[in-house]
Amino acid sequence: MSAAVAMILALAVGTYAFRLVGPVLHGRVVLSPRVQELLSAGAVVLLVALLATGALTEGGGFAGWARPAGVLVAGVLAWWRAPFPVVVLGAAVVTAVLRATGLA
Amino acid sequence: MRSLLRTPLGPARGSLDTSLVRDSSLVWLASGVVGVSFGAISVAGGLPVWVPVVMSLVVYAGSAQFSAVGVLLAGGGPVAAAATGLLLNTRTLAFSLAVADILGQGRLARLLGAHLVTDETVAFALAQSDPARRRAAFWISGLGLFAVWNLGVLAGALAGDALGDTGTYGLDAAFPAVLVALVLPALRANPAVRRCALLGAGLALAVTPAVPAGVPVLVALAGLVGHGRGRGRTA
């Protein structure tokens, strides 16, 4: 199992290094308001890209209709300012029902 | 500039922690179930129980863990497995920069907080309206998620594949839905961010069939070219 140990160690150290960049730089490097603005925008861009690829794709291909249909319902509910639990459960229920009934 | 994601999630200050816990708990529940499936899949694939358990504690990144174990079980070797996971986790670097001023001042808060940087926790924290609430959201969501994720993985590794396919419960739709709920206020409030995000998501989707997992969301950052100087300031 030394292969698993090597993999876990490399992944853990590398991931922690990524995560430490922000907290370590904070207070040491003064970022211009413009850069800070871009960092915040960048976080939103990443999150939207994650949700788009997560909603539509699986393993590089199309994820099927049930999942994006559920996420679309979540989008509509969120647009109407439905409470957070309603948005999330709405997506899961729609996707589960579409699959259970064989509709998508 | 911290005002990008302005609209608070729940009712304001008085019920600060209660509403944060209520909203976080749903993400904890969904992540716990996904954790169970990660533990079960790893053990069913032939790995010993400690591999998914230790990995979840020290790596603590769901999508990277699934991918790395997938590569390992497919016979891809430890280097390819680690590289795949690391590629997926490069985005945590950008997230760590975005939440750096939220964690707190102490050395311990920064060292611990860095490990808790995940998609969901960052989205939760940035969606709050003021600094105190952002900090509370980060730590409540982050610590709870860490506990639930690791307990879920342990349970799954010990119990085996008792849950079956989590797709049956529509859980795969729950995670994008969480992100939808958390980023929508920012997209609504800020046209410049909306432009960048839509362009970025389009680019990410376009390259998904052609590039390794983890690369599409990095490509999405190119959408920031749509962020015109000075026009990004929100109300």
- The lowest-confidence range among A54-68, B23-37, B158-172 is B158-172
pLDDT in tens, B45-72: 888 999 999 999 999 998 899 888 888 8
pLDDT at position B192: 94
pLDDT at position B231: 47
Is B24 a residue whose pLDDT tops 50? yes
Token code pair at residue B119: 């998609």
Ordered DSSP codes for A45-92: HHHHHHHHHHHHEETTEE--SHHHHHHHHHHHHHHTT--HHHHHHHHH
Is A22 a residue whose pLDDT tops 90? yes
Would you call B60 helix, strand, or coil by DSSP?
A: coil
pLDDT at position B138: 96
- The average confidence (pLDDT) of chain B is 86
Q: Is A85 on the interface with B (CB under 8 A)?
A: yes
Please give the residue of chain B at the shortest CA–CA distance from A3: B78
Average pLDDT over residues A58-76: 94
Q: Which of A9-18, B31-40, B68-77 has the highest mean pLDDT?
A: A9-18
Average pLDDT over residues B110-119: 96
Please give the residue of chain A at the shortest CA–CA distance from B85: A11
Q: How confident is the model at residue B119 (pLDDT cuts 50, 70, 90)?
A: very high
Alpha-carbon radius of gyration of chain A: 20
pTM of the full structure: 0.82
Is B80 a residue whose pLDDT tops 80? yes
Is A74 a residue whose pLDDT tops 70? yes
pLDDT at position B77: 83
pLDDT in tens, B1-21: 344 444 444 444 456 688 899
ipTM: 0.90
Which residues sit opposite A29 in a β-bridge? A26
- Bigger pLDDT: A1 or A27? A27
For A53-60, the CB contacts below 8 A with 24+ separation are A53/B201, A53/B204, A53/B205, A53/B208, A53/B216, A53/B217, A54/B172, A54/B175, A54/B176, A54/B179, A55/B173, A55/B176, A56/B205, A57/B205, A57/B208, A58/B172, A60/B208, A60/B209, A60/B213
Q: How confident is the model at residue B162 (pLDDT cuts 50, 70, 90)?
A: low
Domains of chain B by residue range? 11-183, 190-235
Query: In 10 A of CB B164, how many CB atoms?
Result: 10
Handedness of CA B35, B36, B37, B38 (dihedral sign): positive
Mutation test of the interface with chain A: which of B179, B194, B233, choosing the one with the most A Cβ atoms within 10 A? B179
pLDDT in tens, B211-220: 888 889 889 9
Q: Is A11 on the interface with B (CB under 8 A)?
A: yes
Domains of chain A by residue range? 64-104
Q: Is A86 on the interface with B (CB under 8 A)?
A: no
pLDDT at position B58: 97
Is B163 a residue whose pLDDT tops 70? no
Using a CB-CB cut-off of 8 Å, the residues of chain A touching B61 are 15
Is A8 a residue whose pLDDT tops 90? yes
Token code pair at residue B9: 């999630």
Query: In 10 A of CB A79, how many CB atoms?
Result: 12
Nearest CB to A60: which of B59, B209, B233? Answer: B209
pLDDT at position B229: 61
